[in-house]
Amino acid sequence: MASKLLIIHGYSDGATSFTALRDFFVESGEALKQKHTGDDYQQFFFRVFDDVGFTISDYCVDFYVVLPSGEIDGKLTAEFDKEFESEFTRHSADSSCRVLLLNVTNLRKYLQKVRQARSKLVFDIAAKPPNPQVKYLPGYAVVFDGAAPAQGGEPTFLYPNTATLVEIILNRVESDKVLHLLNHDLTKPTLPVAQPSTSPMGRAALLQ
């Protein structure tokens, strides 16, 4: 976008040039926003790994709507599957990464239906381990709670025409054939029992 190369001889020249360039891009961005007349879109970049740090390549993310009674709302779930979930694509080089392109304009209308039903839009994630000696505990996250008080009129994770990173960590469980812990005297240590998570959001969360 720059038609002329600037040769900077001093700090003051550099600072002035940087400020002018910054203002140029800000003004250009605002102009593009004003010209934009179509639907808004947002790209969600999913990356999944376990609590040891290894990436997970084979997994499934399933979105659905839960009624206040705890039952699944089949109609709203089917609508989400048809309108949004089909937009998932897998990264060609790293299958632990998936991209979900959402039409934010249509999503706002859809979430209003979820709010009217006082339901929750959630997702489950299940992963297939690389070998029989390893398994992953299923993940769960609440994306939108229609019964919660509205803040600003729409969900806080919506940033139209941007990309949002969603990192999901799944608990990894291994057999002794993969990881065998011993004390210094070669006796098996007594390990504390893991406490279940009390978070209503599970281990997965949207990064703001």
φ/ψ of residue 167, rounded to 5: -100, 130
Cβ contact 170:56 at 8 Å: yes
Q: Give pLDDT tens digits for 58-73.
A: 999 999 999 999 999 9
Q: Give the model's pLDDT for residue 20.
A: 65
Q: Give pLDDT tens digits for 75-102.
A: 999 999 999 877 788 888 888 999 999 9
pTM of the model as a whole: 0.67
Instruction: Give long-range contacts, CB 8 A cutoff, 24+ apart: 83-91.
Output: 83/110, 84/110, 88/61
Question: What are the domain boundaries of the chain?
Answer: 49-174
Q: Give pLDDT tens digits for 136-194.
A: 999 999 999 998 887 666 778 888 889 999 999 999 988 777 666 666 666 666 666 65
